[in-house]
Structure 1
């Protein structure tokens, strides 16, 4: 990536009457028609706000669905995230890049500059949708993808929301793609997680989940410190050929030393063993726990270091900084932006020290 290269320009046009309707109730998910000019091409799209609590922010995030043409550059929809609470604007993208580096399926993302009806809205993060096109771009087998939409996606028989037995084992999930029977495969998976006897677990669980990929995902959550990552911010992909589930990360702006409100998060906040039922059961198996410990040690030696991470973060931040000077929501906060590299560096050093102290818990 050329650091002097300008961000791609997203020129969005919404009829003033439709824009007024969009703003009237930020919680309505019904899309409205709009036009988007990209690389000189004018595209017909549908647009809606996206996210939950982030809809309250002054700088909105959007979901864009291509209408004419239905598919643009291999995608039928993309997400435009404002990254409003992240002073660095790069945590989400860098987390996805980091997951990819350690062998986990993760969305691609790039920073763009958005204008709305000719007025600058600023720097946004365009994030690839996790759907059938996500699989196609990676030459992966068709299968099912479920989004974890709330805390009930905890791999447990018990609800994380009301602490009672779930009425359905697919609670907490929303099917993105897949045949009708895939929901039963998901329910069977969660049931087996909770009911396979301890003595049989190591032998049986590998019939349902790619354990190596799962442990790499756990490691990614641990290194980035995504507090919600174990019960919420992910998607489940069931490989149609192997029949095995694996996890795809999602929504990683509250990471690398900042929480969901953009506040400093202590480096010891997320425990080394994580938390959810599947992680607990896998790490109760000696073989898997040793595999996980070895994986953490390898990543700490090669990837989770200031020498590896800081230059990459600095490069990303240099790339977007000139455009932030034109961002109406960020241009008055550039001194805070410039200090974020120190926040991230301190986090890495403190998190490494914490993990080194806690590795013995995996013996």
Structure 2
């Protein structure tokens, strides 16, 4: 829960290590540093994070504490620059929305970052999806994979239609072992090879279908184009043995793409895409279930009246910090216009989806 104050994380590292990091943006090994918050000091390792974001002026970071940290309730955190999102709130809005509709999502809060005494501006601190993520939610231990690129489309083929070099290409195993890789390969094979007339009764042995459909509703409403082929974590529940989707990287939502450009409200169809989604919605029972879930969400959660007070409050909280951010202050006028932009998107997207519920009959 975001409070009315934004804490400051003061990071210090040796100047030569800072210079090395700035010159080697693809270096993933952790740089030894120190973090101070509320007069508490911690030894940390820090590196840049993300893919295209590493090329931007304001970069994002991963911070690793080595062991469980009481202050941050985890072993590592992600510090997102949100540089391409002119509103600075799309990720948080999305994760809070997913929680509302019943999907486990990372906790997040806004923080100020100082590095070697110099302000880097305001960031979004994200919880890592790992074993501590599971413990906090009293979820049974199970393997977790990050879908790191567009190869994670639940298909036997790449997005270019070519055979994959590995069925689990693009998946980064966060928690688990080599045996879990085989289980993930099995899931992808099953998604692609179960006969059509058996798919409905067989896929439920591998996938929590209802949770997938709720996740699909969230993606469809927020219109995260990339979420079908990346931008998610995949968790196999240790108790049920079924796979579940966890949203990740949802800044390219609510009418803007991953570069911050405008994405029209009708860009992603109501059926979504990727092999798994297509096969699920090919089953009448699942298609009807998806329609009922989506209709309820459009009526009760994805509405202007529900989002407007949150958007106003976040804008009010962030504006003083955006105005002082060395990387964002020149775009303050655009930041001020984003409230109306997002609310108009919600209104248009909601109506578009309502108009196309008939497509699910």
TM-score band by shorter chain is over 0.9
User: Offset at 1:233?
Assistant: 0.6
Partner Cα separation in structure 2 for residue 206 and residue 307 of structure 1:
36
Please say which of residues 162-171 and 259-268 is displaced more in the overlay: 162-171
> Cα offset for 1:180?
2.5
Of residues 304, 308, 311 in structure 1, which corresponds to 2:309? Answer: 311
For the residue of structure 2 that corresponds to 1:167, the secondary structure is coil
Deviations 1:301-336 (A, max 9, x none): 001110001111111121122222321112232221
* Contact 1:157 1:190 (C-alpha < 8 Å) held by counterparts: yes
Do the aligned partners of 1:83 and 1:89 also contact (CA within 8 Å) in 2? yes
Return the alpha-carbon distance in structure 2 between the equivalents of residues 329 and 159 of structure 1: 36
Equivalent residue for 2:114? Answer: 115
Task: Report the secondary structure of 1:174's partner residue.
Answer: strand
Indicate the residue corresponding to 1:237 in structure 2. Answer: 235
Distance 1:211 1:354 in 2: 25
Q: Distance in 2 between matches of 1:80 and 1:49?
A: 9
How far apart, CA to CA, are the structure 1 residues paired with 2:330 and 2:151?
Answer: 39
Asked whether 1:349 is paired with 2:347, we answer yes
Is 2:254 the partner of 1:278?
Answer: no
- 1:69-126: CA deviation from partner (whole Å, max 9, x where unpaired): 6534431110000000111111011101101111111111101111111111111000
Q: Structure 1 length as normaliser, TM-score?
A: 0.96
Partner of 1:134: 133
Please show how residues 95-244 of structure 1 align to structure 2 within 5 Å.
Answer: 95-160=94-159, 162-244=160-242
* Matched residue, 1:62: 61
- The 2-side partners of 1:145 and 1:242 are apart by 14
**Tell me, which stretches of 5 or more residues in structure 1 are unaligned?**
none
Quick one: which of 293, 296, 300 aligns to 1:295?
A: 293
Residue 224 of structure 2: SS of its match in structure 1? coil
Instruction: Find the partner of 2:253 among 248, 252, 255.
Output: 255
Number of residue pairs the alignment of both structures matches: 360
Q: Who is 2:27 aligned against? A: 28
Distance in 2 between the 1:338 and 1:299 partners? 28
Q: Which residue of 1 aligns with 2:77?
A: 78
Match of 2:63, SS state, is: strand
Distance 2:179 2:116 in 1: 44
- Residue segments in structure 2 that go unaligned for 5+ positions in a row: none
Moved more, 75-84 or 180-189: 180-189
Alpha-carbon contact 1:120-1:326 (below 8 Å) kept? no
